[in-house]
């Protein structure tokens, strides 16, 4: 079974530019999450999709960040315009639908390798 994949693995952009990160969840996983780790800090939640709908976007730092999940498959996270403080590692995770499979599968999130974003 293929895991969660993310593209690119590393992106270096200048302040003011735009970057789009992509996440492909595990096939069949309706829940998709974005997290971010800024250097030296904890991994922080950004937002959660259930299929194509935003279930919780309380962690999005500001309106320079736009996440989409058209068709309920892969997701993109766009940062426009990028600022220095946006540098960090962006993780994507996915999990199964809570109404499918054994109950414990509801809660386990599988993570991708992350995209390291450097804004100079």
Contact 24, 74 (CB under 8 A): yes
Of residues 32 through 51, those in contact with other proteins by CB under 8 A are: 33, 35, 41-45, 48, 50
Q: How far apart, in whole angstroms, are the C-alpha atoms of residue 94 and residue 67?
A: 15
| Distance of alpha carbon 62 from alpha carbon 95, whole angstroms | 25
Dist. CA 120–CA 91, nearest whole Å: 20
Question: Is there binding between residue 104 and other proteins (CB under 8 A)?
Answer: yes
Nearer to other proteins, 48 or 86 (CB): 48
Distance CA 10, CA 2 (A): 21
Contact 88, 37 (CB under 8 A): yes
Of 17-25, 60-68, 72-80, 97-105, which part binds other proteins (CB under 8 A)? Answer: 97-105
59, 68, 72, 74: which one binds other proteins (CB under 8 A): 59
Whichever of 59 and 81 has its CB closer to other proteins, that residue is 59
Contact between 74 and other proteins (CB under 8 A)? no
The residues of the shown chain that bind other proteins, judged by CB under 8 A, are 3-4, 31, 33, 35, 41-45, 48, 50, 55-56, 59, 91, 93, 95, 98, 103-104, 106-114
């Amino acid at each position: 079974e293929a895991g969660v994949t993310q593209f690119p693995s590393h992106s270096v952009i200048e302040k003011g530019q735009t970057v789009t990160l992509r996440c492909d969840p595990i096939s069949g996983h309706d829940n998709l999450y974005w997290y971010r780790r800024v250097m030296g800090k904890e991994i922080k939640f950004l937002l959660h999709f259930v299929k194509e709908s935003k279930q919780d976007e309380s962690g999005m730092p500001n309106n320079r960040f736009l996440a989409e999940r058209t068709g309920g498959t892969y997701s993109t996270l766009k940062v426009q315009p990028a600022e220095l403080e946006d540098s960090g590692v962006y993780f994507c995770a996915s999990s199964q639908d809570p109404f499918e499979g054994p109950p414990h599968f509801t809660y386990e999130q599988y993570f991708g390798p992350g995209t390291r974003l450097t804004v100079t």
